[in-house]
Every structure is written in structure tokens, then in C-alpha cells.
């Protein structure tokens, strides 16, 4: 029986373990914290729990518009939100542990250190050690948030995404440093909770990455303006500190700041600050430097399309591959399954072209395939079809009319190359986009695929049918 050791029990690690066990391997998973990794404990799941509460609050605000008399004011209770969050995470953790048990997967709590001769040494909580011999190793160690705080200091009002989910009360004001996906999601959440929100972003745009379509980013920026979320672009943080009750942040405009509205302020203060400026590889004590595994200049592990490192029997999946491979839980799950299959002798490739992104903002944004800016950089000849969400009857029924759908096609043959949606249920609808690109669907074939009426999904059907009018 082949022995496979996995470092990390997050989405990449547990999916790899389950697939390897199903294929007949003896599997050991080493996890230094809790099963589920960042996603379950400090990321995807708790943030979407808060997003759900924020969405309900926003619906209460629309009660009169929807024909409901609502005399009392709806308000969030952080204590109840945290209690619900902890219960959901506990139930999900128990589900994972049961999966491990039912698939005969050994889960070991401790810190992993990779040794030579196909050995991993686990430093256990009781200060003893356990050595595990493997035929193949899958590294799914994950990442940690970058902070602006010195390592030997801690504050209760200057937080990263690791700490924000356990705050005791909702701040009257919050400054979010970083306008990426995490920063944008929390901006909408805290605005719905009643906080005054400011975002500070060092670059000249929100969501500054090519894998998110620029039109989605621009629409979310406009929605922030409607909700009075202040956005400071081209602005860098010089210093951050706190006293008993207040956070103080000194800022200056970047040298390339061409927006006269941005960067004017020299100092800001708030009740809380959330730092969302990126992540770094969680490889401390793994002993990577002595294993011969290739890493890049920032410490991310380098793996090929089969998820294999330069060491023949060592694979890597998930966040540990860095932002160039998109740091998303569902991407890690697929990588884990492929790495495990390949460790068992198969030869499967990871398809990064069909990895969707999802932003749980208000409205949501999601996409898959090439973006407008990628098409321009690669000089791909495209035809682009757009449709506003307000053109769909269901958007008016639900009271959510902000957003659009964009379908990017190859100009010559009409093959769908990218789909991007901003609006209600965008993160659910994008699954249709993944299938469209995976199957190399054409715009004509999508236009001829009947969708339910009235539904938000009609936005893709109607957008595709513009082929006959444009």
C-alpha cells in the first residue's frame, strides 16, 4: 500500500487526503492548528457568515420598498454573530473529522519538519516527536496574512483577517488597509453593520489584479460611493499605532498619484483598523531550504501543471503556490485532488483557465476565463457582449438592480473565453460560466440554451442573445 503524507489540513490538504485514500493509499495528514485551514477557521466560511448577516440587514433597510411595514430598527449583535460563527465552524470541523475517520485517514496534530529519505518529523504538542515515512509528500501548508505591526507587538484594534472574526463589538469607524478582495468584502460588511468605512489602497484602482475584470472593480467602486464608503487610492500608509481607544494612521500620496481627490489627508483616526495587504507562505520550520525544493524569491513553492515540485515525489497545492496561481479555496481543492491522483500514478493536469473568482461584496462579483485587460495585453481579437442587470425582470422583483454581465468571445469563431458578472447571486451564477469555458461553448450555443423565467440567470441568456442584435 502506497504511503502518502500531507502537510496541512486546509482545503488543498483534506481534498488530497480524501482522494488518495479513495485510490487506495495509506494517508497521514499533519496539521498544526485546526482542520479546515484558513478557509474554515479564519477566512471563507466566517467571512461569509458575516456577509449573510450584513445581507439580511440590507434587506431590512429595503422593507418599505418591498411593501413591508417594519417599525423597529434592525441592528447587528456581534456576540450572536460570533456565537453562530463558532457553531457553524464546529459543525464543519466535526464533519471533516468524520470524513477522515470514515476514509481511514490518520490526522496528526503538530508542526511538520521535512527530513531527508522520505521522512517527515512531527513535533507534537507534548514536546515529543513522531517520524512518518512516505512514498509521496503533498505540501499544503497554506499562507498567513501580512501585517504592518512589529512581530513582538500586539494590538486589540489593529487586526488582520486572522483576528477580525472574534471582535467583541462593531466599531463606529474602521479603516481597511488594502483594496483587494478581502478588503472590499469587509468594507461592505462593516458598512452594513453601521460602521463608517474607509479603504486605503496603494495602487490606482480597487482589486488591482488582472484576473478580476476591471469593469467589475469599477462598478464596486461606484457602489461604495453610493454607500458612503470612502476610498483613497494611490495612497500609502507611513505609520500606524493605537492608544487605548483609537487607531492613528499617517498617510501620504504615492508619487504616481494623478487623482487630485486622493491622498490629500495626512493623518486619519478610527476605532479599528483592518490590514488586508496580502499574504506570505506559512513555511516556518518546514525546513524547505534543506530539502532541495525550488521556491521563488518570495518563498512560494514552485510546482508544474501536475502540481509536482522539482523533487519527483513531492507535490504542492493551495496557497503555498502563491498569488500567481490564485489563492482560492476551490482552486486548492481541485489541486489537491489532482496532486493526490498523480501521486498515485495518474497523469492529470491542473486547468487554471477554468478557476472562477468570487467576491462577496454587495453586489457580488464573479468571473472566469480571460478578463478585458488580459485580452488587451495578449492582443486577442474578441467580441464583448454586455447586459445590465436592471434589464432582467427578476432584479426588479428582488430589489437588486445594480450590476451587469459581460461575455468575452473569440472574434472569429464565437467561442466563449471569459464571463464576468456583477450583481445578485453572481457567485452562484458563475458556475454556468465555468462549464461554458470548460466545454468550449460558443456564444450562439449559450444563446440557444433556454433559461428559467423570471430568474437572475436570464442575464447570461439575454447577454448571449445579443449576438443576433449587435
State whether 92 and 179 are in the same domain: no
In percent, the amount of the chain with pLDDT more than 90 equals 90
- List pLDDT tens digits, range 235-262: 999 999 999 889 999 999 987 654 545 5
Start-to-end Cα distance in the chain: 60
Q: Which of 391, 410, 392, 393 is nearest to 467 (CA)?
A: 410
CA 317 to CA 145: how far, in whole Å?
A: 18
What is the per-residue pLDDT for 289? Answer: 82
The count of residues in the chain is 470
State whether 304 and 328 are in the same domain: yes
Q: Which residues contact 95 (CB under 8 A, 6 or more apart)?
A: none
The boundaries of the domain holding residue 186 are 158-277
Write out the three cell numbers for 83. 456565537
In percent, the amount of the chain with pLDDT more than 70 equals 97
- List pLDDT tens digits, range 316-339: 999 999 999 999 999 999 999 999
CA 308 to CA 342: how far, in whole Å?
A: 9
Q: Is residue 453 annotated as part of the catalytic site, yes or no?
A: yes
State whether 165 and 222 are in the same domain: yes
Q: Cβ distance 279 to 327 under 8 Å?
A: yes
Q: Cβ distance 268 to 245 under 8 Å?
A: no
CA 74 to CA 59: how far, in whole Å?
A: 10
Mean predicted confidence (pLDDT) in 177-183:
97
CATH of the domain at 457: 3.30.390.30
CA dihedral sign of residues 328, 331, 337, 343 = negative
Has residue 72 got a pLDDT over 80? no
The residue to which cell 491522483 is assigned: 341
State whether 80 and 167 are in the same domain: no
Residue 152 binned pLDDT confidence (cut-offs 50, 70, 90): low
DSSP bridge partners of 132: 120
State whether 256 and 323 are in the same domain: no
Looking at every residue in the chain, the average pLDDT score rounds to 95
Catalytic one of 396, 410, 451, 453: 453
The phi, psi pair for 288, rounded to 5°, reads -60, -35
State whether 182 and 112 are in the same domain: no
Does a structural domain hold residue 153? no
- List pLDDT tens digits, range 386-397: 999 999 999 999
Q: What is the DSSP string of 24-83?
A: T-EEEEEESS-TTHHHHHHSHHHHHHHHHHHHHHHHHHTTTTTT----SPP---HHHHHH
What is the per-residue pLDDT for 263? Answer: 46
Helix (H, G, I), strand (E, B) or coil at 246: coil
Q: Is beta strand 106-109 parallel, antiparallel or unpaired with respect to 26-31?
A: parallel
What is the per-residue pLDDT for 168? Answer: 93
- The number of domains in the chain is 3
Write out the three cell numbers for 147. 501585517
State whether 17 and 112 are in the same domain: yes
CA 306 to CA 341: how far, in whole Å?
A: 10
Does a structural domain hold residue 150? no
CATH of the domain at 169: 3.50.50.60
CA 247 to CA 148: how far, in whole Å?
A: 13
Q: What is the DSSP string of 3-35?
A: EEEEE--SHHHHHHHHHHHHTT-EEEEEESS-T
Q: Which residues contact 263 (CB under 8 A, 6 or more apart)?
A: 232, 234, 235, 251, 252, 253, 254, 257
Amino acid at each position: 500500500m502506497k504511503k502518502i503524507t500531507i502537510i496541512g489540513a486546509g482545503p488543498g490538504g483534506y481534498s488530497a487526503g480524501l482522494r488518495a485514500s479513495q485510490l487506495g493509499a495509506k494517508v497521514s495528514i499533519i496539521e498544526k492548528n485546526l482542520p479546515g485551514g484558513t478557509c474554515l477557521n479564519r477566512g471563507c466560511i466566517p467571512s461569509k457568515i458575516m456577509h449573510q448577516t450584513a445581507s439580511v440587514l440590507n434587506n431590512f433597510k429595503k422593507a418599505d420598498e418591498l411593501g413591508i411595514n417594519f417599525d423597529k430598527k434592525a441592528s447587528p449583535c456581534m456576540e450572536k454573530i460570533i456565537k453562530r460563527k463558532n457553531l457553524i465552524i464546529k459543525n464543519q470541523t466535526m464533519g471533516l473529522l468524520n470524513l477522515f475517520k470514515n476514509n481511514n485517514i490518520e490526522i496528526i496534530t503538530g508542526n511538520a519538519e521535512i527530513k531527508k529519505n522520505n521522512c517527515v518529523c512531527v513535533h507534537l504538542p507534548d514536546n515529543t516527536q513522531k517520524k512518518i515515512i512516505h512514498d509521496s509528500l503533498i505540501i499544503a501548508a497554506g499562507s498567513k496574512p501580512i501585517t504592518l505591526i512589529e512581530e513582538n507587538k500586539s494590538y486589540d484594534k489593529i487586526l488582520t483577517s486572522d483576528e477580525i472574526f472574534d471582535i467583541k463589538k462593531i466599531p463606529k469607524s474602521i479603516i481597511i488597509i488594502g483594496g483587494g478582495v478581502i478588503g472590499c468584502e469587509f468594507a461592505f460588511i462593516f458598512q452594513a453593520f453601521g460602521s463608517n468605512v474607509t479603504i486605503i489602497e496603494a495602487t490606482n484602482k480597487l482589486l488591482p489584479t488582472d484576473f478580476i475584470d476591471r469593469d467589475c472593480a469599477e462598478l464596486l467602486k461606484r457602489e461604495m460611493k453610493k454607500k458612503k464608503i470612502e476610498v483613497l487610492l494611490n495612497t500609502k500608509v507611513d505609520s500606524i499605532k493605537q492608544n487605548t481607544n483609537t487607531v492613528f494612521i499617517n498617510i501620504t500620496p504615492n508619487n504616481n498619484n494623478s487623482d487630485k481627490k486622493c491622498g490629500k489627508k495626512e493623518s486619519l483616526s478610527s476605532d479599528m483598523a483592518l490590514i488586508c495587504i496580502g499574504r506570505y507562505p506559512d513555511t516556518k520550520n518546514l525546513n524547505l531550504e534543506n530539502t532541495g525544493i525550488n521556491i521563488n524569491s518570495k518563498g512560494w513553492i514552485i510546482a508544474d501543471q501536475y502540481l509536482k515540485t522539482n523533487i519527483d515525489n513531492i507535490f504542492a497545492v493551495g496557497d503555498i503556490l502563491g498569488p500567481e496561481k490564485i489563492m482560492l479555496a476551490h482552486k486548492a481543492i481541485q489541486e489537491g485532488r489532482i496532486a493526490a491522483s498523480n501521486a498515485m500514478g495518474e497523469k492529470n493536469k491542473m486547468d487554471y483557465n477554468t478557476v472562477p473568482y468570487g467576491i462577496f461584496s454587495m453586489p457580488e462579483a464573479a468571473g472566469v476565463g480571460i478578463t478585458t485587460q488580459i485580452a488587451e495585453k495578449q492582443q486577442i481579437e474578441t467580441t464583448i457582449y454586455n447586459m445590465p442587470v436592471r434589464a432582467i425582470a427578476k432584479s426588479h422583483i428582488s430589489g437588486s438592480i445594480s450590476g451587469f454581465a459581460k461575455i468575452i468571445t473569440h472574434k472569429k469563431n464565437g467561442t466563449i473565453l471569459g464571463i464576468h458578472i456583477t450583481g445578485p447571486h453572481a457567485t452562484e451564477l458563475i458556475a454556468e460560466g465555468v462549464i461554458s469555458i470548460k466545454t468550449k461553448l460558443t456564444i450562439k450555443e449559450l444563446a440557444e440554451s433556454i433559461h428559467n423565467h423570471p430568474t437572475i440567470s436570464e442575464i447570461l441568456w439575454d447577454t448571449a442573445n445579443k449576438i443576433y442584435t449587435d
